[in-house]
């Protein structure tokens, strides 16, 4: 676990509302990491570097979805407001004969008094097998939420499990922000949709309630969406509109078990041709939702319609090539894994036409 201060900060110490952080889940991540790596000690290990995409699989049926044709104009509000964000990432660093070796990392970033700070957790390295995947996930889920859905993960492949584990870490980071920040804006990566893709409706509701109790407003930015209105992706519609502005969606009705815990907008915040799906907590009036986005415009750097605090959270949890090499070297030295070089069968059979391995 690594905790450090972002180098561009202009003040000598953190100025976070509540610096006391519950370390139960990070400690549990470390314990499960060590347990899983010990089980693969002295086995053959094939190096492999591959980002595992955390796609939002909880999109809804969009029959009847439409956009209010009248855009909502926005004006930046300079009232001092803390902006906080979190994100996680996971990457495959190798394979064994029984499973996959992955690394997971998360970051919380906040902007206050025109300075950025961050806390970064990880990397946590796990060896995930068909036999151990549920045990690892359930142990971490119990540490995070006090309960687990034992037995509900048998049908999840070992390729999907790293994303589920990273999702647990992300929910915990979101919960920490909801508890530690007050009178601020909390930015999530993704949507406020639950009930699919490993996102627990109960857990997300608890996070939103905790945020509301501390007078925080949650804004969730989705980099990609499949939601369509009149046959068009909703983020394609605002082109030509004068920014900054919002478009309100209407008629969006998810089917069980999917639950929508926020109201969905399309946000075009800068002059560039970029727009994003933006989910905002449901328990607010339209005026409060608009004011929250205006406070974001007045307190954070917005580029390509995307807030810098959330961009930094993504950058800080993403793995570099050098970090992957270091983790591979650590696994070999610490746990005696034996390197093997299995051929890439696509390149071996098809030469320059081999497409390589694709992670799904």
Structure confidence by residue, pLDDT tens digits, 87-136:
999 999 988 888 889 999 999 999 988 899 999 998 999 999 888 888 88
Mean pLDDT across the stretch 50-64? 57
Give the pLDDT mean for 257-275: 93
pLDDT at 176 over 90: yes
Residue 143 has pLDDT above 70, yes or no: yes
- Is 2's pLDDT higher than 60? no
Who has greater pLDDT, 58 or 120? 120
More confident residue, 352 or 79: 79
Which pLDDT band holds residue 255 (cuts at 50, 70, 90)? confident
Could you report the per-residue pLDDT of 303-352, keeping only the tens digit for each? Answer: 999 999 999 999 999 999 999 999 999 988 998 887 777 777 777 888 87
**Region of poorest pLDDT, from 48-57, 64-73, 312-321:** 48-57
Output the pLDDT for position 332.
87
What 3 state SS string does the chain have?
A: CCCCCCCCCCCCCCCCCCCCCCCHHHHHHHHHHHHHHHCCCCCEEEEEEEECCCCCCCCCCCCCCEECCCCEECCCCCCCCCEEEEEEEEEEEEECCCEEEEEEEEEEEEEECCEEEEEEEEEEEEEEECCCHHHHHHHHHHHHHCCCCCCCCCCCCCCCHHHHHHHHHHHHHHHHHHHHCCCCEEEEECCCEECCCCCCHHHHHHHHHHHHHCCCEEEEEECCCCCEECCEEHHHCCCCCCCCEEEEEECCCCCCCCEECEEEEEEECCCCCCCEEEEEECCCCHHHHHHHHHHHHHHCCEECCEEHHHHHHHHHHCCCHHHHHHHHHHHHHHHCCEEECCCCHHHHHHHHHCCCCCCC
Give the torsion sign (CA, 308, 16, 193, 123): positive
14 has pLDDT over 60: no
Q: Contact 216/181 with Cβ under 8 angstroms?
A: yes
**What integer pLDDT is reported at residue 311 of this predicted model?**
98
The pTM of this model reads 0.86
Inform me whether the pLDDT recorded for 23 exceeds 90: no
Q: Give the length of the chain.
A: 360
Report, as an integer, the average pLDDT of 216-245.
Answer: 91
**56-65, 246-255, 282-291, 320-329: which range is least confident on average?**
56-65
């Amino acid at each position: 676990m690594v905790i450090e201060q972002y180098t561009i900060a202009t003040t000598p110490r953190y100025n976070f509302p509540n610096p006391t952080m519950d370390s139960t889940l990070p400690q549990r991540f470390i314990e499960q990491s060590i347990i899983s790596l010990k089980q693969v000690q002295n086995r053959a290990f094939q190096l492999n570097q591959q980002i595992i995409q955390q796609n939002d699989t909880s999109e809804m049926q969009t029959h009847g979805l439409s956009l209010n044709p009248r855009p909502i104009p926005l004006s930046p509000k300079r009232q001092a407001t803390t902006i906080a964000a979190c994100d996680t990432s996971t990457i495959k660093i190798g394979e064994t004969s029984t499973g996959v070796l992955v690394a997971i990392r998360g970051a919380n970033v906040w902007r206050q008094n025109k300075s950025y700070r961050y806390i970064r957790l990880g990397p946590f390295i796990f060896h995930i097998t068909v036999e151990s995947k549920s045990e690892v996930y359930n142990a971490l889920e119990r540490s995070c939420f006090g309960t687990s859905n034992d037995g509900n993960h048998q049908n999840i492949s070992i390729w999907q499990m790293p994303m589920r584990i990273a999702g647990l870490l992300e929910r915990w980071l979101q919960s920490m922000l909801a508890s530690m920040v007050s009178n601020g804006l909390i930015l999530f990566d993704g949507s406020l949709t639950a009930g699919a893709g490993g996102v627990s409706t109960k857990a997300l509701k608890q996070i939103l309630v905790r945020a509301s109790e501390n007078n925080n407003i949650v804004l969730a930015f989705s980099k990609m969406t499949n939601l369509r209105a009149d046959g068009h992706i909703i983020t394609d519609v605002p082109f030509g509109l004068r920014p900054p502005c919002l478009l309100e969606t209407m008629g969006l009705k998810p089917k069980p078990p999917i639950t929508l815990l926020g109201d969905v907008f399309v946000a075009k915040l800068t002059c560039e041709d970029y727009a994003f799906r933006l989910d905002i907590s449901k328990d607010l009036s339209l005026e409060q939702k608009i004011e929250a986005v205006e406070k974001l415009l007045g307190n954070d750097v917005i580029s390509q319609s995307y807030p810098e605090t959330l961009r930094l959270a993504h950058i800080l949890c993403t793995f570099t090539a050098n970090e992957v090499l270091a983790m591979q070297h650590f696994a070999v030295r610490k746990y005696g894994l034996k390197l093997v070089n299995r051929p890439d069968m696509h390149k071996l059979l098809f030469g320059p036409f081999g497409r390589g391995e694709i992670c799904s």
